[in-house]
């Protein structure tokens, strides 16, 4: 089957390498990629060769024992010729782990990863690497080295309409097919009706509390097993060990945040509707707001929010900041307090009655979220902080909010057609 312009049947088992994570290949193929996708694209494969940041797969990305003295001229040559040296500020800034440590160590880890992938790809016959999403420096370097060595990359990232998948490296839209009219009509009708993305199905306040508590307990275990014992005692430098503290953001205090949310009434909406804008929050950290930002200098999501809040404060706008329903009880209270220090901000609980009122606000500010697509298709005005895969020629930057407009039915149909050119249902 062809996906994103790549016919997977052109590659033998020995020429394909699949990146998986700590729960192993079975979990990755059934839960992350999905059995339907794997069967459609790789049903001919008899033996899957895998690579992971954890031991137990065919290849283990082992950076524990590397040191500067191990680096060879060939490693430095590739570091420069593959553009990794030039891209180093972006690689560090986009990675939630690297940007939290000193520059010298971050550069050393990037060099060691370059060395690892040079040795791997020059001693094996891989021609295609398959992964879910680039969300850390290891995957970033893997793709850059592979691309330089003319090894193709295939990303199987979910889209918010199941079972569509999207191939993207750094958030861009790859238009690789032409949808028929029936498909366009079906998706236009789907998006025109208010509904949640499939990954929000079944989410409510109670199960978010349970999830947050589970993640909190998991974070403590990770801090001890990986952060303390693995990192400090054993000296492990693998991504999940070196950055154990950075990958778990849950805090006990995050479970008690309801008192920080604001009330909001229909009367207030009616009085100030013309000077209100809705800002739906992303989960964070996530690839959407670090790896997919067009400028790596904007990979610190929270500071970009503060920038936008300041802009709209000076223009007399009330910004209705809506928490992500899938991330409530996981965000730091300090961030909420920083938001509320802006006098033009109202912080909205996604499970409150106030949240439904936000659909009546005509103007929406997005980063890379799918809520922007839904709002466009439901006749609302949308502006963006950063150019994203669906904004080109459609959405103005937030500084030009006065030029935002509602798309005509014909424009919405063409908008959907373009999106479908960049996604595919296996």
Q: Nearest CA to 270 among 362, 193, 342?
A: 362
Both tokens of 268, joined, read 């207030």
CB of 1 closer than 8 Å to CB of 40: yes
Q: What is the pLDDT of residues 133-153, one digit of tens each?
A: 999 999 999 999 999 999 999
Q: Distance (Å, rounded) from C-alpha 402 to C-alpha 359?
A: 19
Q: What is the pLDDT of residues 318-339, one digit of tens each?
A: 999 999 998 999 899 999 999 9
| DSSP letter, residue 273 | G
pLDDT, residue 248, reads 65
Q: Distance (Å, rounded) from C-alpha 186 to C-alpha 181?
A: 9
b/e for 211-229, b at 16 or more Cβ within 10 A? bbeebbeebeebbeebbee
pLDDT, residue 187, reads 96
Q: Distance (Å, rounded) from C-alpha 415 to C-alpha 376?
A: 9
Which residue did the predictor score with more confidence, 250 or 74? Answer: 74
Q: Distance (Å, rounded) from C-alpha 249 to C-alpha 330?
A: 7
pLDDT, residue 88, reads 98
CB of 389 closer than 8 Å to CB of 287: no
Residue 113 has pLDDT above 80, yes or no: yes
Banded pLDDT at 249 (limits 50, 70, 90):
low
Both tokens of 425, joined, read 């249902």
Q: Nearest CA to 128 among 38, 36, 19?
A: 19
CB of 302 closer than 8 Å to CB of 389: no
DSSP secondary structure string, 181-227?
HHHHHHHHHHHHS----GGGTT--HHHHHHHHHHHHHHHHHHIIIII
pLDDT, residue 170, reads 94
Mean pLDDT of the chain: 92
pLDDT, residue 197, reads 63
Q: Distance (Å, rounded) from C-alpha 110 to C-alpha 91?
A: 8
pLDDT, residue 255, reads 86
Which residue did the predictor score with more confidence, 70 or 369? Answer: 70
Three-state SS for 146? helix
CB of 325 closer than 8 Å to CB of 333: no
pLDDT, residue 383, reads 98
DSSP secondary structure string, 3-55?
ETTEEGGGS-GGGEEEE--TTHHHHIIIIITTHHHHHHHHTT-SS-EEEESSB
Three-state SS for 298? helix
Three-state SS for 327? coil
Q: What is the pLDDT of residues 197-246, one digit of tens each?
A: 655 677 888 888 888 888 888 888 887 888 888 878 888 888 878 887 77
The β-bridge relationship of strands 6-7 and 59-60 is unpaired
Q: Distance (Å, rounded) from C-alpha 285 to C-alpha 28?
A: 21
Tell me the percentage of the chain whose pLDDT exceeds 70. Answer: 97
* Dihedral sign (CA 278, 261, 369, 296): positive
Instruction: Give the pLDDT mean for 69-98.
Output: 97
Residue 77 has pLDDT above 90, yes or no: yes
pLDDT, residue 254, reads 87
Instruction: Provide φ and ψ at 47, rounded to 5°.
Output: -140, 115
CB of 151 closer than 8 Å to CB of 15: no
CB of 280 closer than 8 Å to CB of 364: yes
């Amino acid at each position: 089957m062809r996906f994103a312009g790549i016919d997977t049947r052109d590659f033998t088992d020995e020429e394909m390498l699949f990146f998986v994570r700590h729960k192993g290949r079975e979990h990755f193929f059934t839960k992350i990629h999905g059995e339907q996708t794997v069967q459609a694209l790789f049903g001919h494969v008899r033996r899957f060769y895998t690579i992971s940041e954890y031991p137990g797969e065919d290849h283990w990305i082992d950076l524990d024992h590397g040191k500067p003295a191990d680096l060879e001229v060939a490693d430095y040559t590739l570091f420069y010729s593959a553009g990794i040296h030039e891209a180093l500020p972006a690689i560090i800034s986009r990675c939630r782990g690297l940007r939290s440590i000193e520059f010298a160590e971050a550069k050393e880890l990037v060099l060691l990863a370059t060395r690892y992938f040079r040795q791997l790809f020059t001693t094996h016959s891989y021609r295609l690497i398959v992964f879910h999403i680039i969300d850390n420096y290891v995957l970033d370097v893997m793709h850059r080295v592979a691309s330089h060595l003319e090894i193709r990359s295939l990303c199987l990232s979910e889209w918010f309409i199941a079972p569509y998948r999207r191939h993207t490296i750094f958030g861009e839209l790859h238009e690789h097919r032409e949808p028929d009219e029936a498909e366009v009509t079906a998706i236009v009708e789907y998006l025109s009706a208010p509904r949640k993305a499939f990954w929000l199905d079944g989410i409510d306040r109670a199960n978010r509390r349970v999830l947050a508590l589970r993640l909190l307990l998991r974070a403590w275990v990770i801090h001890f097993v990986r952060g303390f014992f693995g990192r400090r005692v054993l000296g492990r430098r693998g991504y999940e060990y070196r950055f154990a503290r950075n990958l778990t953001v849950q805090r006990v205090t995050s479970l008690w945040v309801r008192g920080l949310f604001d009330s909001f009434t229909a009367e207030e909406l009616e009085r100030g509707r013309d000077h209100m804008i809705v800002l739906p929050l992303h989960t964070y950290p996530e690839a959407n707001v670090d790896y997919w930002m067009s400028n790596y200098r904007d990979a610190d999501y929270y500071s970009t929010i503060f920038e936008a809040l300041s802009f709209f404060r000076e223009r007399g706008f009330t910004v209705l900041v809506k928490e992500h329903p899938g991330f409530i009880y996981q965000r730091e209270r300090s961030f909420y307090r920083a938001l509320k220090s802006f006098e033009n901000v109202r912080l909205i609980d996604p499970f409150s009655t106030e949240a439904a009122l936000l659909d009546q606000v005509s103007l929406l500010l997005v980063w890379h979220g799918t809520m922007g697509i839904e709002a466009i298709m439901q006749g609302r005005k949308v502006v963006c902080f950063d150019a994203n895969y669906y904004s080109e020629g459609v959405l103005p930057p937030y500084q030009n909010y006065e030029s935002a407009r509602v798309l005509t039915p014909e424009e919405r149909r063409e908008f959907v057609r373009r999106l479908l050119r960049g996604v595919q249902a296996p």
